[in-house]
Every structure is written in structure tokens, then in C-alpha cells.
Amino acid sequence: MILVTGASGHLAKAILQHLTQTGAAATGATRHPGSSDQLRALDFDVPATISFEGVETLVMVSAGTEEDDVVITRHNNAITAAERDGVRHIVYTSLTEAGDHLGFALAHRWTERRLQSGKAQWTILRNGLYAELIGHLLAPHEGVISAPFGHGGVAAVARQDLAEAAAIIARNPGIHGGRTYNLVGNIVITGQNIADTLGAEYRPVKLTELRQALDSTAMLPFQPPMLLSIHSAASHGFLEETGTDITDILGREPLNALHIAAAAATA
């Protein structure tokens, strides 16, 4: 049986959908199972809730965006339980190779190392930044996109494509054992090309302008630097490398990330 964690999140939900549509024996686990008897209750923060009995392949969706020590403890709890319960293969949704400069990279890289030195077979999916997220960061207000994205861009990828890739690998994990895939998109999205698509104006601003604007929001102290690390890495050209792993796994070209980002920017 395949178990997908984080089943109330966007990515995990879409992975489960692909698995069930293709007839795979799969179920989900979440902190919020509600009244569903389809989903298991599981919280990586509470080791007593983590059971992977009967699970052969675990799709471990990275557990939210928090301080590094919180995420690392969560992931360690999950992997330790998987090893205890005899899970054969863990498919982990990590972060693109080019993302090492992002504020949330360390917890992903720690988790990759933990898997590589652990007892289960593993496959690491180094997911590119979601086109939906980039669209959200480049949303226009009154026809103007003001963001510290400079003139750089992101080889973003549709979350649906990442979900389908994870489902394809989870259905047939044996041939992907010990492999790391860099799942970035095949085009680069910039502030200017979102603006052109939407008929908006793009006005790149300084990082400090966004930081000051975030000061008046209810963000936790670690969140603004994490968020701004995306803008800084994009604007300085660190996220532009495109790739073909996603095409190879899906057996088709990825969805048009620019259209998806533009739709998210106006949602």
C-alpha cells in the first residue's frame, strides 16, 4: 500500500487524486482527518500518532514551512517511524537543486541526508518552486506588479505536474530507488512576462521596500527573511536553470507554467 502524508495540503491531495485515478492502492494521512474514514490521523509533531503499519511505499510530503529545528524534528520523527514499521521505500518531496540559497533549504537538505543514511530505499524529488506561488508573489495591484524580482526569473513548475510525477514514481518505486530528480520547469517566469501576459505594468522594487511592508503584517519573525530569500534568489538569477527530469518522468511536456502563474496572480 502507498501512503501519502499531509493529505489536507494542496500537493498531497493532488498526489492522492492521481494515485486513485490510476487504480493504485493508496491512502492519505493528515492532522485533520475530520469524519473521513478514508484518511489516517497523523501529526509528525506527535510521534505517538505516527504509524505506517502495512505501508510499503511512503510519499512523505515536506511538512510545512517553520523554523528549521521544527521541520527537521518532524521529518526525523516520520522517517524513524517508517524505519520502525518496515516501510520499504520513501519518496520525499524536497526542494530544487538551485534552491540552496532559499531560507527553507537547510531542512530539506538535512532530510535528504537522513534518508540517504537511513534503512529504507528512497527517491528524492527536488521540486521546483510552484508556478502558483510565483504568480502569487507577482500579483498586480491596480494594474501594477511591484515586487523585488529585479529582472531575474524562476524555472517554476505547476504543482499539478509535481503531484503527477510523485504519483508515477510511487506506483513504481523500485526503478527510482536511490535517484534524485530535479523537477524544475522548462521555461523561466519573470515579473515582466507575467505583466505582459496580464497587460499589467511591472515595477521592480528594492528588497527593503517589501521587508518594510511585511513589518506591518502578522508574520512570525522567521517568515519575512524566508519569503524575501525567494525574491532575492530570483532577482539575482539563482532560480533560472530549466530542466528535463519532469518531462522524462511525466512522458509529456510540463503544463504551461506562465499561464498557471498568471492565473494565480489574478485569482
Ligand X SMILES: NC(=O)c1ccc[n+]([C@@H]2O[C@H](COP(=O)([O-])OP(=O)(O)OC[C@H]3O[C@@H](n4cnc5c(N)ncnc54)[C@H](OP(=O)(O)O)[C@@H]3O)[C@@H](O)[C@H]2O)c1
Binding residues (CB under 6 A) for ligand X: these are 5-12, 30-32, 43-45, 61-65, 74, 93, 127, 129-130, 133
CB of 253 to ligand X, least distance (A): 19
CA distance 220 to 72: 18
Cβ distance to ligand X smaller for residue 74 or 89: 74
Candidates 133, 114, 137; CA nearest to 124 is: 114
Q: Which residue has the cell 527517491?
A: 123
The contacts of residue 26 (CB under 8 Å, 6+ apart) are 1, 2, 3, 4, 16, 19, 20, 170
CB of 105 to ligand X, least distance (A): 11
CA distance 65 to 31: 15
CB of 211 to ligand X, least distance (A): 20
Cβ distance to ligand X smaller for residue 175 or 218: 218
Cβ distance to ligand X smaller for residue 134 or 195: 134
Q: Are 191 and 147 in contact (CB under 8 A)?
A: yes
Q: Record the cell numbers describing residue 13, joined without a space.
A: 491531495
CA distance 43 to 49: 6
Cβ distance to ligand X smaller for residue 5 or 123: 5
CA distance 187 to 105: 22
Is 13 in a helix, a strand, or coil? Answer: helix
Cβ distance to ligand X smaller for residue 84 or 203: 84
Among all residues, whose Cβ is closest to ligand X? 6
CB of 142 to ligand X, least distance (A): 26
Q: Are 224 and 159 in contact (CB under 8 A)?
A: no
CB of 93 to ligand X, least distance (A): 6
CB of 73 to ligand X, least distance (A): 10
CA distance 53 to 136: 38
Cβ distance to ligand X smaller for residue 41 or 216: 41
Q: Are 184 and 165 in contact (CB under 8 A)?
A: no
Exposed, middle or buried: residue 129 (CB in 10 Å: 0-12, 13-18, 19+)? buried
Cβ distance to ligand X smaller for residue 201 or 247: 247
The neighbouring-strand residues paired with 39 are 28
CB of 139 to ligand X, least distance (A): 15
